[in-house]
Each structure stands twice: as C-alpha cells, then as structure tokens.
Amino acid sequence: MVSRYVLIRGGDELLSIGAADPAEAQAIAEQLRAAGICLEVVAGIDSVVVRFDAVAYDADEVSRLVEDALADGVRPLAASGKLLEIPIVYGGKFGPDLEHACETLGLTADEFIALHTGGEHRVDMIGFTPGFAYIGGLDERLHLPRRTEPRQHVPAGSVGIADGRTGLYSLAGPGGWTLVGRTPFKLFDAAADDPFPIRAGMRIRFRALSAEEWPA
C-alpha cells in the first residue's frame, strides 16, 4: 500500500509531510515518533517536519521508511482528557487592543469576552518562540488579521488573536497579534521539571478575571 501523504525534501536532513489539519499533523508526528526512524519530529498547523541522520540514511531511504510507517493510514489521537483553564484579564493595560478589536468587529467588550470564554478550545501547535501556543476554536465572530505593525515588545502572558486562533505568549518578545488580554497563569517556569505546561492537543477553556484579581 502506498502512502497518500506528500513528502517534500527540505535540505540534506529534513523532510516535510503535508497534513489536512493540526489534529492530523499531531497524529502523524506521534506515529513517526513511535516508529523511531527520525531524530526529531515537529508537528505544525498543516505539516510535519522530520529531521533524520543524514550520515546514517539518505533522503530516499528515509522517505521510504516514512511512507511505510504511514502506509496503513494514520491513527487519530485520542482526545486529551485534561481540560486546562486559563484565566485572563481582558482589556486596559492587559489587553491594549481590545477596544479597537471590538470597534472593528462591532461588538461590546462584554460580548467579545463572552464569545472568547464561551467554548472549549484546542492547542493546535507550539511554535514561533519556545512555548508559544497556537490555540484553535476561536469563534468566527472574533476573527481578525494580524496587526499591520508588529510590536517590538509584548509582555509574557499576553493573549492575542489572529487568523482564527488565540495565541499565548509564554515569553516576552516581539509580536504582531491583536492583544486582548493577559493571563497570570505561568506559561513558563524555568524551575519546573516541565518548563512549558501547555502541549499540542490539550483542551483549553478561557475564564475572565477582573483586574483587581491580578496577583500582586
């Protein structure tokens, strides 16, 4: 049986596999990790990139091994049983773009917050910077593009929206997402065994927090 997945070479030691959506990308990545044929496997939004030992294997051989691993199809991953709640202070100094976002979308701040906190979300992927979470499931009424002018500095814990997703900034740095709030949830803890607590595939629910409840 021949794999239906398209493989694209990306240099001497990289290979990219297309996927229909983030869930399929994560399932492909998990299946390839289990096969043990790659040094590193990274799932994206609609693709999976694998890195292999170019000394031990040539690209054609790795392509055949990958195709064999996927030949019988990809087994969907079981839904994560863990639901992580992320508290967010919306607007004001914590979400400097919320007012503009509401004006653009024709919503009040309360309506925006109700839509953002009203459903369950799923982490599509981790990337851009270490621990940055791309979270799907954003209500269509909240869809906005990225900012035309990215900020040079975005505080850690900031919550942004762009291109149909919510983004959580685990680390401070530049960014072009529309900032609607900030979370006191520790998205990065250097002292922990697992510094980045959010993983692709996790279920997420957002909860509104008042500014007065922000930890001192």
Segment 129-157, tens digit of pLDDT: 889 999 999 999 999 999 999 999 999 99
Residues 202, 214: Cα–Cα separation, whole Å = 25
CB 149 within 8 A of CB 174: no
Beta pairing partners, 42: 49
Over residues 38-68, the pLDDT tens digits come to 888 888 888 899 898 888 878 888 888 888 8
* Architecture per CATH, 83-213: Beta Barrel (2.40)
Residues facing 170 on adjacent strands: none
Distance CA 49, CA 29 (A): 8
- What's the CA gap between 193 and 183, in Å, rounded? 21
Domain 7-70 and domain 83-213, same fold? Reply is: no
Domain with residues 7-70, CATH architecture: 2-Layer Sandwich (3.30)
Q: Which residues pair with 151 in a beta bridge?
A: 175
pTM, rounded to two decimals: 0.83
What is the CB-side half-sphere exposure of residue 164 using CA atoms within 13 A?
Answer: 5
Sequence ranges of the domains in the chain: 7-70, 83-213
